Structures are given as structure tokens and as C-alpha cells.
Amino acid sequence: MATEPLTEEVAGTCVDAGGSAIGMPQLCFDWFPNQIFWLVITLVVIFLVLSRVALPRIAAILAERQGTITNDLAAAEDLKAKAVEAEEAYNKALADARSEAQRIAAEARAEIQSGLDEAIAKADAEIAAKAAESEKAIADIRAGALESIQVVAKDTAAELVTALGGEADAKAIDGAVDAQMKG
Amino acid sequence: MATETTAAEGSSLVFHPMDQFIVKPLFGDGAIAWYTPTNVTLWLFLAIAAVFALLVLSTSKRAIVPTRMQSVAELAYGFIYKMLEDICGKEGVKFFPYVMTLFMFIVCANFLGMIPMSFTTTSHFAVTIPLALAVFLTVTVLGFVKNGTAFLGLFWVSSAPMALRPVLAIIELISYFVRPVSHSIRLAGNVMAGHAVIKVFAGFAAIAAISPVSVLAITAMYGLEVLVSFIQAYVFTILTCVYLKDALHPSH
């Protein structure tokens, strides 16, 4: 720092002729008034700057931030409540829809069931009618067949008798065939 | 110091560890009167500029989401405010601008002093003694104004046995008046010692064989001094708070 030599008259009790410190410069009382004077000015300036400008401003910034955070938290709380509400509504709608669907399904099932039952009953009746008809037809056919067999048997018997050289007696043959058929 | 003796030996080693603390006029070589602008003036005003930049310019945007510099200002504010409130309670908060002024001035002056070739204002007793005396006088006057003679209860340890109380009162009284001395010398002494040691190491750098060690030592000391710069400002401020608490609540 003070390596450049100072002039002779400056070299006082604190600085030697070579510009070096004699002892501790901190204890040079010649400089005290100067240092204290400028220190007081400095402190007053800093105090005024801080108390008038800096500290109120920083306090305002911090308060504003706190306010913003509080507001945001409240808004978030609101939104959260709304979300919960919406979820409840959604769940309720879902449950409603489900029960409605079940109801519709049950209705449809019942309708189908009744239709089915009706159809089955109708089909059963038709089947029974058809079966009765068929039975009748079968009985007819059976009766017809018996008659035909008698006719065929009588014809055959008459042919056999003729072939054997006998005289076919229609009455005797009928009676014999009838007797055979009954047995 | 050992300046003259080492120089007189004629070796290449020339130590002037204290020369960095010499007060010089900024203009010309005249004598130093109380109003002369000196290097002290320059570095004190730079401290003002630093405080202004840190606390006023950085907060000029008043951003809700702070910039980096604004965060520094807010952290400094919160740091000192909380310290004052924790120690002195709600009553102490009205001294916040005063305490903040002390802290910001000391911390800025200390760190400006860490710039190579700078002048360290806080290494001078002429700077730290007025600071400490201002605290001492504030505390004493405030103590009597707020509590009247009850402030003397600070020296009368009512929890001690009756026989011991006069002895303790003398000890308390001495310790009370030693406060400004220790308060000021602690700050100036720490700062001055570190800077002088760095200068001594720098003197050794003239010897080629030692210079790497010297540079390393300077680096290490510099790191330590950065720490000391902050810690001493912190200590000065927290002691101010503690003394203020005594004035506000003098009972032990």
C-alpha cells in the first residue's frame, strides 16, 4: 500500500520518513477525528437508507409474499373442496346409473322370460295337437293296414287254393282268414 | 512492529504488515484534518454503496418470486430480524433498523477489506470503538429510561446468597464497563490480525523456495479471513442484541 515515500512534513508520529507505519496505525490518535467523522457520516447515511427505503420495502415484499401464499393456499383449499364435491357427484351418478342399468336388465329379463314362457306353452299345445293328430293318423293307418292284410291274405289264400287245383270258396276262405287273424 | 529491524538487516525480506492500515489523504499529501477525504472515506463510502446495492437495488423489482440478489437481501433481513426477535422479544423489534445498520455496515466493510489492495476500515479501533460505544451508550441510556433505577438490578444478582451479592455486584459492574472494550477490540483485532498475517506471508513470497508455501498459506488465510469477516459481523450484532436485551429486561 503505502510503499511510495511520503514527503517529510507528512511523516509525523505515525509514519516514518520512508512511508512505513511506526507501530500500529490503529493507535495513531492523529487520525482518529478524521476516521470518526467519516464513520458517523457513513452510519447516518446507511441508517437513513435502511430505515427509509430498504427495510420498509423488504418488509412489504415479505408481507406481500405471505399474503399471496395465504391466498393461494385458500384458493387451493377451495379447489380441493370442489374436486371432492365433483367426485361425490360423479360417484352418485355412477351408482344411479348402475342401479338403473340393473333395473332395466331385470325388466328386460322378465319380459323375455314371459315371452318365452308363452311361446313354450304355445309350442307345447301345438306339439300336443300335432301328436294327437299323428296318433290318430297312425291308428287310421294301422286299421287300414289290418284291413289290407286281410284282403291280401284272402286274395293270397284264394290264389293258393286255385293254384292247388281247388275251387276257391270265398266264404270259407274269409272265415278261415278271419279266424287266423283273430288268433 | 518488527519492520525496521528486518529492513535494517539488509536481507531481501522486507515486512511492512501494518502499512496497509495507514490512513492517507485521497488528494495530495497534506496533513489529515478531521474533514480531509482519506482512503478511510473512500472505503466507508464504498461500504455505503455495497449496502445500497445489496438492500435497495436488489429489491427494486419487488418481485414476489425473488431474484438471487433479492433473496440475499431478504435472507439478511430475516436473519437479523429473527436474531433480534429471538433475543430481545417483540420489544426489541423497534431497534431493528439500528441493529441492521450495524450488521450491514460491518459485514460490507469486512468483505470490502478482503479485496486485495483495499483499505479495511473495520480493522481500525477508531471505527470499532465508536460503534461499540454507541451500543454501550444506547443500552445504558435506554436501560435507565425504560426501567429507571430498576436497571441497577442488572448488577444485583438476586438469585445469589446475600453475602455474595456485593462481590458479584462489583464483578458485574466491571464486566459491564468492559463490554465496549471487548466489543470493539474483538472486531478490529480479528480483522487486523488476519490481514497482517496475510501480509507477512506475502513478504515470504520474495524467497523463491518458500513462495509456493507462502502462496498456499495466503490462500488458506484468505479463506479463514472470509469466514472471520462474516463471523465477526455476526458476533458484533448478536452481542448488540444481547446487550439490548439487558436494557429491555434487566432482571437476571
- Helix H, strand E, coil C: the string for B3-41 is HHHHHHCCCCCCCCCCHHHCCCECCCCCCCCCCCCEHHH
Q: Which residue has the cell 454501550?
A: B136
Are B108 and B47 in contact by the 8 Å Cβ rule? The answer is yes
Confidence band for B140, pLDDT divided at 50, 70 and 90: very high
Q: What is the grid cell recorded at B230?
A: 462474516
A21 SS3 class: strand
Q: Kindly report, residue by residue over B33-76, the tens digit of the pLDDT.
A: 888 899 999 999 999 999 999 999 999 988 888 999 999 999 99
A–B CB contacts, 8 A cutoff, strictly below: 167
Q: Residue A21 is nearest to which of B18, B36, B126, comparing CB atoms?
A: B18
Residue A86 vs residues A38, A77, A83, A157: alpha-carbon distances, Å:
69, 14, 5, 102
> Which residues, listed in sequence order, are joined to residue A15 by a DSSP beta bridge?
A21
Percent of chain B predicted with pLDDT > 90: 65
Geometric angle at alpha carbon A144, from A142 and A147, rounded to 5°: 110
Residue B80 has pLDDT above 80, yes or no: yes
Residue A120 vs residues A8, A115, A117, A128, B191: alpha-carbon distances, Å:
138, 9, 5, 12, 111
Q: Kindly report, residue by residue over B120-130, the tens digit of the pLDDT.
A: 999 999 999 99
Compute the average pLDDT of residues B139-158. Answer: 89
Are B54 and B69 in contact by the 8 Å Cβ rule? The answer is yes
Question: How close B242 comes to chain A (CA, Å)?
Answer: 20
Residue A118 has pLDDT above 90, yes or no: yes
Among A63-67, A132-136, B146-150, the minimum mean pLDDT is found in B146-150
Residue B173 has pLDDT above 50, yes or no: yes
At residue A23, the pLDDT reads 80
Geometric angle at alpha carbon B72, from B67 and B75, rounded to 5°: 115
Domain boundary assignment for chain A: 25-182
At residue A140, the pLDDT reads 92
Percent of chain A predicted with pLDDT > 70: 93
* Chain B positions in Cβ-Cβ contact with residue A6 (cut-off 8 Å): 24, 29
From CA B67, how far away is CA B64, in angstroms rounded?
9
Cβ of A90 under 8 Å from any chain B Cβ?
no
A10 SS3 class: coil
Among A59-73, A164-178, B93-107, the minimum mean pLDDT is found in A164-178
Q: Residue B126 is nearest to which of A32, A43, A64, comparing CB atoms?
A: A32
Do the Cβ atoms of A34 and B40 come within 8 Å? yes
| CB burial of residue A98 (10 Å; 0-12, 13-18, 19+) | exposed
Go through B27-54 and write b for each residue having 16 or more CB atoms within 10 A of its CB, e for each that does not: eeeeebeeebebbbbbbbebbbebbbeb
Residues 6+ apart with CB under 8 A from B26: B37, B38, B39, B41, B42
At residue A12, the pLDDT reads 62
Mutate to test the interface with A, among B124, B131, B199 (most CBs of A within 10 A): B124
